[in-house]
Amino acid sequence: MHWCHLFDGYAPFAQSPHGRIVGKTADARIPGTWKDRPGGFPYDEFVNDTSRRPRGPLEGVRVLDFTWALAGPFATMQLADLGAEVVKVEYPENDEKQRGFGPYFEGVSTFFFSANRGKKGICIDFKTPKGQELVRRLAREADVLTENFRPGALARQGLGYDHLRVENPRLIYAALSGYGQTGPYSSMTAVDAVAQAMGGTMSLNGERDGPPVRVGVSIGDMVGGLYLALGILAALRARDLTGEGQFLDVALMEAQMALCENAIVRQSAFGEAPSRQGSRHALIAPFGPYPTKDGYIVLANVKEWELLCALIGRDDMALDSRFLTNRARMENIDALEAGLDAALAEKTTEEWFEIIEPSNACSVGKVNTIADLFHDPHVAARGMLVDVPLPYGRPGSLKLPNSPMHLSGTPTVVGAAMPEHGGDTDDVLARWLGIERGEAERLRAAGVIK
């Protein structure tokens, strides 16, 4: 929900600063060919046993992740799905309910669970001198550092980009915030709804005569997170060419502006000030959901108007001069939609889908509820819902969306469950820094780690 920062890397056949070969290699491929498998690609799979985990395209990339809430964690989750080792850094004193919002299932925040799969978790009090030194040491071994604090927050603790690039010139430092690191708004905070509002998308969403409406999923956060992940991949590729890391600055407001591309160019070209129009399209009719006997169905991009009218039992509309062309339908949109509403209310959504879809008269889709997705045969065939086990050894699992990136040679893998609070501190400090158990216990006793 908040402005956040992320770092990640991708360097095919490149060497990381810690001497490991990262990226796609020949032995990373799953046996057999992708054409032999159902769905035309090797299914992205859940592998809890990391010794059996196939190598993803970001295998060997280390991400030191200071992000929290949704936007940043959503970005680093993409990197984890692609095979990066994402180490989430949290404060030792936080309890489970402070890690994320409710509702809670078996004492676990479902909000935290959904955006933090496949990551490792360590706890460092990086407000202390010893904690800050630990972070500097970890940054020397990382490819990417991500954070979502207010601009300048980590720099005030000696952990900003200018500090850490001295420790590791190859480090990609990715920062996600509400409004970016510069400009008059940079010190302001932004959450999802604020980003949608300030970036313009909210002004375009809602009914024509109604108030602006927040999009029902957190696109203010998640689109910012996706741009952060994309920027990290670009920075990793640039590092292949230059050998150097760089600073990445992504703002939630600007990510929303990027979504408004057509509205912005229309404003620039015609001064028309695009605004809300419900589910209607500015240039095409029909376009949008229409009520059926038991739900809604979407009709769009009509190719054969006369055929569509025949299929829905409205030959009269096919001969009506008000509807003969797309332009005429746009000019008579209210009458058009009234006719379609009356016709489509005669059958169920599934009945209309089975009638219209094979005809190729237009694009057609069922308006699925979230519950519908759990029973959709296409979702099942593509493996797009996966069971992820609960953490802390609790029995059971919860379903999460799989990654929509289907790579034939280095498939994405939905990793282990969300990290336990500090559950991987000893392992990460030992592997990354060579810290032995005795030193870890002394740091733990001093409250520096958990």
Sheet strands (E) in 124-274? 144-147, 172-177, 247-251
Determine whether 292 is exposed, middle or buried from the number of CB atoms within 10 Å of its CB (0-12, 13-18, 19+).
buried
Cα four-point dihedral sign 60, 65, 67, 69: positive
User: What does the block give as tokens for 199?
Assistant: 């970036």
- Is the CB of residue 177 less than 8 Å from the CB of residue 150? yes
Structure tokens at 418: 């969300």
CB 20 within 8 A of CB 166: no
For the record, the structure tokens of 168 come out as: 């590791």
Distance CA 246, CA 40 (A): 38
Q: Is-catalytic flag, 378? A: no
The encoded tokens of residue 130 equal 């010893």
What span, in angstroms and rounded, lies between the C-alpha atoms of 109 and 397? 13
CA dihedral of residues 309, 365, 41, 84 (deg, nearest 10): 150
Q: Residues with Cβ < 8 Å from 91, sequence gap 6 or more? A: 123, 124, 125
Quote the CA–CA distance of 232 and 311 in Å, as a whole number: 49
Q: Which residue in the list 2, 5, 163, 281 is annotated as catalytic? A: 281
- Give the CA-trace dihedral at 186, 188, 189, 194, to 10 degrees: -100
Q: Please name the residue that has the structure tokens 């992740």.
A: 65
DSSP track, 386-419? EEEE-STT-S-EEEEEPPS---SSS--EE-SSSP
Q: Under 8 Å CB-to-CB from 156, ≥6 apart: which residues?
A: none
| DSSP one-letter code for 2 | B
Tokens standing for residue 240: 């292949």
Q: How far is residue 34's CA from residue 390's CA, in Å, rounded to a whole number?
A: 31
- The one-letter code for the residue type at 199 is G
Report yes or no: 375 and 368 within 8 Å, Cβ to Cβ: no
Contact 224, 252 (CB under 8 A): yes
d(CA 8, CA 85): 9
Which residue, chain included where needed, has tokens 């859940």?
Answer: 46
Which are the catalytic amino acids?
A: 281
